[in-house]
Amino acid sequence: MLGILLLAGCGTIGNLVNDPRIYGGTRYDAQEAGNWGPCGSGIIAVFDFPFSVALDTAVLPFTLIYELLKSDPPPPPPRQAEPSVPNPHTR
């Protein structure tokens, strides 16, 4: 039980370290809650869910600003058309 309490909010912390998304820790916990594999990450996600909701709400101003200021990658440059070469087999 102590381990679960120490991991409280870890979905949100992982979200903030990688690529902050709005309520990313809560989304992660909801996704992992169905994973009842051998390591039991689904059980931890179920207990972590309310802590992640609270922590995601606390950092919401930061994640909103980050999402608004995050620059999208620039579009690729337009391809230049290759000059057409006449086909010698057509008239």
- Domain-embedded: residue 81: no
* Residue 29: half-sphere exposure toward Cβ, Cα within 13 Å: 26
Contact indicator for 15, 25 with CB cutoff of 8 Å:
yes
- Domain-embedded: residue 32: yes
Q: DSSP code of 22?
A: T
- Domain-embedded: residue 75: no
- Domain-embedded: residue 91: no
| Interval 26-85: pLDDT, tens | 888 888 777 666 556 677 777 778 888 888 999 999 999 988 888 776 777 777 777 677
What's this model's pTM, rounded to 2 decimal places? 0.62
The single residue listed with the structure tokens 């709400």 is: 57
Does 3 score more than 70 pLDDT?
Answer: no
Helix axes 10-17, 24-32, angle to 10 degrees: 120
Domain with 38 in it:
2-69
- Domain-embedded: residue 36: yes
pLDDT band at 2 (very low <50, low <70, confident <90, very high): low
- Domain-embedded: residue 29: yes
pLDDT value of position 8: 54
Please tell me the total count of domains within the chain. Answer: 1
